[in-house]
Amino acid sequence: MKTRTLATGVAALACSLALTGGLAAHAEAGAIPKYKAPQIFGTTFQADPGHDFTKGLHSRRNGILRGWITAVRGDGSAEYEPIKWKRDKHTEGYFVGPPEGDVTAYASPIAKKVVFLSASGCSGSGVGMTVDRRTGLGNKSCSRSTLIKRAKVGQRASLITVHKGEIVKVQEIFTP
């Protein structure tokens, strides 16, 4: 009986150490904290208190921005701006960015291991939408290169997560 209890204890300790090691490795990899998401179809631009837009384009503070990528630079960084939902009397509405001349924009490197969740699949054909029907957010994981290729083609409404000055997650918002 003692041998069985000892064996069980050793197995439990080994399992515990393996799990702890895994958690430590995960923590070292820079796990992204859970940030509060903005209202997906919010009708005002999100504020970034303390951000000085007169000092050129630089990263937004940590958190999630409802926005779109407006340009991708050769060094793998992206320029992006906040967006808001504008109601329309002839349609459900559409997203708009800041008015012409407004300098509300940011620039951050796109993380090498960015999480890109597409609303239209990785091919982008639009056939077979890949969205969470409850939230309207993309749920198909695609590569960093797909994100960059898609961002170069045009602005796509998304929830953009910035952590430690890098874009670490982009989740597209489905709009009909």
* Arithmetic mean of pLDDT over the chain: 81
What gap in Å lies between CA 104 and CA 99, rounded to an integer? 9
Percent of the chain with pLDDT over 70: 80
* 3, 53, 78, 84, 104 from 48: Cα distances, Å: 61, 10, 18, 14, 10
Q: Tell me: the pLDDT tens digits for 93-117?
A: 999 999 998 889 999 999 999 999 9
pLDDT at 126: 57
CB 168 within 8 Å of CB 111: yes
**pTM above threshold 0.85:** no
Inform me whether the pLDDT recorded for 143 exceeds 80: yes
pLDDT at 118: 92
Q: Tell me: the pLDDT tens digits for 17-52?
A: 333 333 333 333 457 789 999 999 999 999 888 888
pLDDT at 16: 36
Inform me whether the pLDDT recorded for 11 exceeds 90: no
pLDDT at 22: 34
pLDDT at 173: 95
| DSSP SS3 for 95 | strand
